[in-house]
Chains A and B, each alone.
Chain A
């Protein structure tokens, strides 16, 4: 009992000490990254991470990582690899941040710590903006990118006739299954939702100061992120 009491007292003292930041990182990631180097793992995931060779050339999460690094005064060291490689490296602490178009449903959530979702996107069926909304999709021809998740969801959840295409860039004015952020560019409006995705980034589990710093950064930028997603997601 006495031991418990003194532990509690020590904890209380630590909490109340002036200038003592809560939460802290067990391994000091935030301290090391600030005005130092941030190691960012990247996996190609259009439009979130786009690579040219081993360096990123653009993408929503790449832009966000750059902005976060600027704010922290950090230089970024990009590390490319497969998701599994980078998640394992991040788990053990040799990568500070993984960006790979991850969502909150990802299987990696037991291995690395996800941020709170910073943006939500949807896979939808979009119909031409000008026309009336149809009663149902039964029998109508709907375009979807070949080999995409939307293609399968369309088959599974609607009665539409699926027309697989290589690219949606020519789909302007047609009924398509696509992500909601391309609707404006294709002059479409939402008709039916196929799937909702909450996007997250991953950091080493337990490095809570770093996690909180990153989450605060992301959550303060919701409007800017929406714009960024629409720009980067252009077909």
Chain B
């Protein structure tokens, strides 16, 4: 027996009614982020000069366009209905966007890291001259610092706002984006230290700052590639901030034990983008004759526990043969009992 959440209003979102507002806010914030970052990227591009740290900060800003873009694209595609060609719907578009964004992060981080390390080893001294602004000759370094501050402060505020929404929406891409924005000030600080270092005659400060920034990008990249591949490998669902397993699997198994006619049960869920899908295996008590209504009632009851669970299949079986937290525990207890 299979059951699916039926959200009202033509299933405009995968989300329950009370989260629609948050979703709209998140979409708006992401558009604001993209618009602002484009101006920051343009500002940084004209002041880039030959500073490696500036280049690293600029590339990080370029990359920070990816998560918002992924979020916006995915939030359009994912609500399309399942059809004959995509029988499971397009929820996974979110995961795919996530993989691409994470890979881009990792690749660019590695590139900047190697480039900067190479420049440090070759002892390349970055030249920074003057720029003419309003008829005045100003050292380009000061303008770089102004551009960095411009590119760094508002994203921190945006990041905080987005993180709150990501918590409400349990949205991974939004969360990763918010984290990246919130950490932006560190990039900016490192780049400013690099530019000021050049200013006081420490040529290596620039490359070192760039290495620090790129190491941070690589770290983010590794973390996100890992999380994204886990999703595609149908790993057990985690909370949106990846801190721990999502409690829903155990919660569902506890629910199963409340039904008299169920001898044993096991739940297996996977993440499909924003939502969870999976199977519920139940072993009926001896002599119990199951009806379709019973199974359907169980499925509906379980779906009500958590809006993120989108689609589950309830299957009566003779024996539980899948790993699940409950089944594993029982097996361990049985082993100890012997």
Binding site for B on A (CB under 8 A): 4, 7-8, 11, 14-15, 20, 22-26, 113-116, 203-209, 211-212, 215-216, 219-220
Q: In the complex the two chains form, is B125's CB within 8 Å of A26's CB?
A: yes
Point out the residues of chain A lying under 8 angstroms from B131, CB to CB: 116
Flag if A22 contacts B124 (CB, 8 Å).
no
15 inter-chain pairs at a CB distance below 8 angstroms, sorted by A residue, are: A7-B193, A8-B189, A11-B193, A20-B200, A22-B139, A26-B125, A26-B201, A113-B129, A114-B127, A205-B50, A205-B124, A206-B125, A206-B126, A208-B129, A208-B198
**Are A15 and B130 in contact, CB atoms less than 8 angstroms apart?**
no
Taking a contact as CB atoms under 8 Å apart, the answer to whether B126 and A205 are in contact is yes
Q: Which residues of B contact A (CB under 8 A)?
A: 50, 124-132, 137, 139, 141, 189, 193, 196-203
Chain A residues with CB under 8 A of B141: 22-23, 208
B129 and A115: CB pair below 8 A? Answer: yes
A209 to B: closest C-beta gap in Å: 8
Q: How far is the CA of A216 from the CA of B127 in the complex (A)?
A: 15
Residue of B132, B139, B141 with most chain A CB atoms under a 10 A cut-off: B139
**Which residues in B have their C-beta under 8 angstroms from that of A114?**
127
Chain A residues with CB under 8 A of B124: 205
Q: Which residues of A contact B197 (CB under 8 A)?
A: 11
Select which of B128, B132, B189, B196 is within 8 A of A208 by beta carbon: B128
Take A11-B193, A11-B196, A219-B137 as given contacts and tell me if A24 and B129 are in contact as well, using a CB distance cutoff of 8 Å: no
Q: Is the CB of B201 within 8 A of A25?
A: yes
| CB <8 Å contact, A205 and B125 | yes
Contact status A22-B137, CB under 8 Å: no
- Is chain A's binding surface mostly helix, strand, loop or mixed? mixed
Nearest first, the 6 closest Cβ-Cβ pairs linking A and B are: A206-B125, A113-B127, A24-B201, A22-B199, A205-B125, A23-B199
**A26 adjacent to B129 (CB under 8 Å):** no
A212 to B, closest residue via Cβ: B130
A211 to chain B: which residues have CB within 8 Å? 127-129
CB neighbours (8 Å) of A219 from chain B are 130, 132, 137
- Residues in B neighbouring A7, C-beta threshold 8 A: 193
A20 surroundings in chain B (CB, below 8 A): 200
B127 close to A15 (CB less than 8 A)? no
Q: Are B127 and A206 in contact (CB under 8 A)?
A: yes
- Residue in contact with B200 in the complex, picked from A4, A22, A113, A116, CB distance below 8 Å: A22
Are A205's CB and B189's CB within 8 A? no
Neighbouring A residues of B125 by C-beta, 8 Å: 26, 204-207
- Tell me if B129 and A212 are in contact (CB < 8 A): yes
Bound Cα distance A79, B35 (Å): 53
A191 to chain B, nearest CB (A): 31
Contacts of B203 in A (CB 8 A): 26, 206
Residue of A nearest to B130 (CB): A215
**Complex CA–CA separation, A25 to B201 (angstroms):** 5
Report how far A215 CA is from B129 CA in the complex, Å: 7
Q: Are A116 and B130 in contact (CB under 8 A)?
A: yes
Closest residue of chain A to B201, judged by CB?
A24
**CA gap between A208 and B199 in the complex, in Å:** 8
CA distance A212 to B199 in the complex (A): 11
CA distance A26 to B124 in the complex (A): 12
Which A residues are in CB contact (< 8 Å) with B193?
A: 7-8, 11
Question: In the bound complex, how far is the Cα of B201 from the Cα of A26, in angstroms?
Answer: 4
Q: Are B129 and A15 in contact (CB under 8 A)?
A: no
- Taking CB atoms, residues of chain A closer than 8 Å to B199 are 15, 22-24, 208
With a CB–CB cut-off of 8 A, which chain B residues contact A8?
Answer: 189, 193
**Assembly CA distance A114 to B49 (angstroms):** 11
Contact B128 A23 (CB under 8 A): yes
| Most A Cβ at <10 Å: residue of B127, B137, B197 | B127
